[in-house]
């Protein structure tokens, strides 16, 4: 059986800022199972006696009352395994939703689509009127937990209980799940363990994959979940100290409680092994993607820690330094920066496996070569050692990206770049002829890099007549469709003209942003290339690429808005 566990870790700051505000029951970490309960959540239960758990793992609160998942009873591919709350009685609590996956998943795409479906499932947090996707339920559950454990008539401080970054763990049977969407962030080859930092609808979550065939797989699963909650709680306690919310005055009960928490947490994270599981490299992996303190805040943190016990201070500073030094590699991108809008399934699906390529009709290829390719050109700026792509939209008008003309930050001399620009239409009737722009002209029409990022340029002569080719036009209505193909004519790295595409390459269409995002291949030099749908209708201009540790993603400008801006010059038709 495959089990997915979504964890929301909570950092409870009340022991360090307002200990009188929290109820003393249940008596965590060893409450009375069967008689104690957490209001709004449920009764405290005990785990099986034959299991070996840490002290605060022996009991948990059955928490089905806190979160309702109304649609799960109608699903045939997954079911709820548990909803539970665990706490160490001080600052570390966590709410976990376990989901049994009831069908086999043979490909990476199936795994990611199913996980994406689970994370997008609607849920209702108790006391809230409106539903939300289960992935975004953490803040609501944290508020519910704060209310459930609040004592006295004083108002609840909404910042007393903080929900940290969610964690997703997939415990899988390699017989039922033969392919995993594993990145190269971290893995133990042959040991059935891997880590990936994924983003789903803008929410980043740490994701672990654990094989049921791994040594001590259940204890490994529990160690990973516990480690994530500890690290998140430590991060928010350190942040509260740095902000001055936790006062570390000598001899005060709250300062003593904070120092005790820091000392115990440092000791746990420093252990080479826990519950029979080697954890040193696991801690390093978490540090790589979670800084405990920003670099520019370290000096202030050290000042705040000055009054606590020396050994505790040194261990905290050492752990903060480890998290700052264990940074992931910098993101690599081509062209202007952009934010990936899609969920994890499109990105990882195309990054970690290559689906079987579809058959391509010869007539389709012939149409591309004869009708479209001749109007696409290689743009060279020798002085800048830059290449790009452009395409003819009227007899003497060329369309490309504005950042090709002005630079990514629009800081370059546009007139000098236009004078330097050389245009080569390699699949035209005279492939070696070089054209230039009108020496007296500025861009006929353009939009800045942060807007539509296009430039309409006038050539020095009638290229259409000189090369006897058809220009590329927009029909006024064509739009790409999510999940459908997108095909880019381009000069990657300044090489001869190429076409790239994916049968389901479009990850998202965003008309309000005038952008389309996709996974079809592109490289430096591809900027300004025309993008076509499966019916060979012009739909976008390729503009940039972002390489991430999960794969490469690209973005184009929708032709709809560009067409509206330039149609008075192009005439809007052939």
Query: Where do the structural domains in the chain lie, given as residue ranges?
Result: 2-325, 356-574
Distance from chain centroid for Cα 50: 40
Coil vs helix vs strand at 409:
coil
Residue 173 is predicted with a pLDDT of 85
Judge whether 540 and 488 are in contact, CB under 8 Å: no
Distance (Å, whole) CA 290 – CA 556: 31
Q: Are strands 167-172 and 203-211 parallel, antiparallel or unpaired?
A: parallel
Q: Which residue is it, tokens 């992931």?
A: 328
Residues 531 and 389: beta-carbon distance below 8 Å: no
Closest by CA to 391, choosing from 466, 464, 480, 471, is 471
Tokens of 398: 């060329």
Alpha helices in 58-178 (DSSP H): 108-120, 138-148
Cβ atoms of 15 and 126 within 8 Å: the answer is: no
Nearest in space to 421 (alpha carbons), one of 448, 455, 393, 394: 455
Q: Please, which residues bridge with residue 499 across strands?
A: 489
Q: Tell me if 68 sits within 8 A of 59, measured CB to CB.
A: no
Residues 308-330 as b/e (b if ≥16 CB within 10 A, e otherwise) read: beeebbebbeebbeebeebeeee
What is the pLDDT, as a whole number, of residue 566? Answer: 96
pLDDT of residue 14: 94
78-87 and 92-101 as β-strands: parallel, antiparallel, unpaired? antiparallel
Right CATH for 356-574 from 2.40.10.120, 3.40.605.10, 2.30.30.90, 3.90.45.10: 2.40.10.120
Q: 446 φ, ψ to 5°?
A: -155, 165
Beta bridge partner(s), residue 553: 546
Q: Going residue by residue through the chain, which has 574 residues, state the pLDDT in tens, using 9 for 90 and above.
A: 789 999 999 999 999 998 888 888 898 888 888 899 999 999 999 876 545 556 567 889 999 999 998 876 666 788 899 999 999 988 999 999 999 988 887 666 677 778 888 898 999 999 998 889 999 999 999 999 999 999 877 778 888 999 999 999 999 888 777 666 544 455 665 667 888 777 777 788 888 988 888 777 888 899 999 999 999 999 999 999 999 999 988 889 999 999 999 999 999 888 888 888 888 888 888 887 777 887 778 888 888 888 888 988 898 988 888 777 765 555 555 667 665 565 544 343 333 334 445 667 888 999 999 999 999 999 999 999 999 999 999 999 999 999 999 998 898 999 999 999 999 999 988 888 999 999 887 899 999 998 999 999 999 999 999 999 999 999 989 999 988 889 999 999 999 999 987 766 788 899 999 999 987 888 889 999 999 999 999 999 999 987 654 456 789 999 999 999 999 999 854 3
CA quadruple 85, 90, 92, 96: dihedral, nearest 10: 0
Q: How far is CA 97 from CA 62, 80, 167, in A?
A: 11, 8, 11
> Closest Cα partner for 96 from 61, 131, 55, 54?
61
Query: Are the C-beta atoms of residues 524 and 384 closer than 8 Å to each other?
Result: no
Burial 248-259 (b: 16+ CB within 10 A, else e): beeeeebbebbb
Decide if 353 contacts 109 (C-beta within 8 A): yes
At 360 the pLDDT is 79
With beta carbons less than 8 A apart as the criterion, state whether 446 and 397 touch.
no
Query: What's the Cα-to-Cα distance from 161 to each of 13, 120, 196, 224, rounded to whole Å?
Result: 6, 24, 27, 22
- Write down the H helix ranges in 121-279: 138-148, 217-242, 253-270
β-pairing verdict for 538-548 and 551-558 = antiparallel
Strands 167-172 and 2-12: antiparallel
Percent of residues in the chain assigned helix, strand, coil, to nearest 5: 30, 30, 40
| Neighbour count for residue 140 (Cβ, 10 Å) | 21
- Alpha-helical (H) ranges within 433-483 are 463-467
Query: CB-based contacts of 546: which residues, under 8 Å, 6+ apart?
Result: 331, 332, 333, 334, 337, 338, 340, 552, 553, 554, 555
The pLDDT score that the predictor gives to residue 275 is 80
Q: Which pLDDT score is estimated for 424?
A: 96
User: Residue written as tokens 């499932």?
Assistant: 121
- Residue 351's pLDDT is 35
Question: CA 437 to CA 552: how far, in whole Å?
Answer: 33
Length of the chain (residues): 574
Q: C-alpha 271: how far from its chain's center?
A: 31
């Amino acid at each position: 059986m495959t089990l997915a566990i979504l964890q929301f870790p909570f950092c409870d700051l009340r022991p360090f800022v307002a200990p009188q505000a929290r109820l003393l029951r249940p008596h965590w970490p060893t409450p009375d199972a069967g008689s104690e309960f957490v209001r709004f959540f449920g009764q405290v239960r005990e785990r099986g006696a034959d299991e070996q758990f840490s002290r605060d793992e022996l009991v948990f609160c059955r928490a089905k009352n806190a979160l309702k998942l109304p649609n799960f009873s109608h699903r045939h591919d997954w079911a709820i395994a548990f909803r539970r709350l665990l706490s160490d009685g001080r600052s570390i609590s966590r709410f976990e939703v376990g989901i049994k996956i009831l069908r086999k998943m043979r490909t990476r795409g199936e795994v990611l689509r199913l996980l994406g479906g689970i994370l997008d499932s609607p849920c209702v947090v108790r006391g809230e009127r409106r539903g939300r996707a289960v992935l975004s339920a953490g803040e609501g559950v944290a508020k519910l937990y704060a209310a459930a454990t609040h004592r006295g008539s004083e108002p609840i401080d909404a910042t007393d209980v903080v929900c940290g970054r969610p964690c997703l763990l997939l415990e899988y049977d390699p017989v039922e799940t033969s392919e995993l969407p594993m990145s190269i962030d971290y893995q133990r080859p042959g040991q059935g363990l891997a880590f990936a930092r994924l983003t789903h609808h803008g929410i980043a979550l740490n994701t672990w994959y654990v094989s049921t065939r791994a040594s001590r797989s259940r204890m490994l699963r529990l160690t990973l979940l516990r480690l994530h909650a500890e690290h998140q709680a430590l991060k928010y306690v350190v942040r509260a100290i740095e902000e001055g919310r936790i006062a570390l005055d000598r001899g005060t009960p709250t300062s003593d409680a904070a120092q005790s928490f820091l000392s115990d947490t440092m000791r746990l994270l420093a252990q080479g092994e826990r519950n029979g599981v080697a954890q040193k490299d696991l801690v390093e992996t978490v540090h790589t993607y979670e800084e405990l303190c920003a670099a520019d805040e370290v000096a202030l943190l050290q000042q705040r820690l000055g009054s606590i016990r020396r050994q505790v201070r040194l261990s905290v500073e050492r752990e903060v330094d480890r998290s700052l030094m264990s940074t992931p590699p910098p993101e690599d991108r081509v062209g202007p920066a952009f934010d990936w809008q899609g969920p994890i399934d499109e990105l990882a699906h195309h990054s970690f496996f290559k689906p079987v390529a579809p058959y391509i009709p010869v007539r389709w290829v012939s149409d591309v070569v004869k009708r479209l390719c001749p109007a696409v050109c290689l743009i060279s700026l020798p002085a800048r050692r830059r290449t790009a792509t452009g395409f003819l939209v009227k007899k003497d008008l060329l369309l490309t990206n504005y950042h090709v003309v002005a630079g990514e930050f629009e800081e370059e001399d546009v007139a000098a770049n236009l004078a330097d620009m050389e245009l080569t239409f390699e699949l035209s009737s005279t492939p070696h002829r070089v054209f230039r722009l009108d020496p007296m002209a500025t861009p006929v029409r353009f939009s800045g890099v942060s807007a539509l990022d296009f430039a309409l340029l006038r050539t020095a002569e009638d290229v259409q007549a000189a090369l006897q080719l058809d220009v590329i036009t927009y029909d006024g209505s064509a739009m790409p469709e999510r999940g459908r193909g997108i095909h880019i004519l381009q000069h990657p790295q300044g090489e001869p003209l190429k076409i790239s595409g994916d049968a389901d390459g479009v990850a998202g269409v965003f008309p309000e942003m005038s952008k389309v995002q996709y996974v079809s291949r592109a490289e430096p030099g591809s900027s300004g290339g025309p993008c076509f749908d499966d019916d060979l209708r012009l739909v976008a201009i390729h503009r940039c690429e972002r390489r991430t540790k999960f794969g490469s993603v690209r973005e184009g400008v929708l032709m709809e808005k560009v067409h509206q801006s330039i149609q008075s010059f192009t005439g809007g038709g052939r």
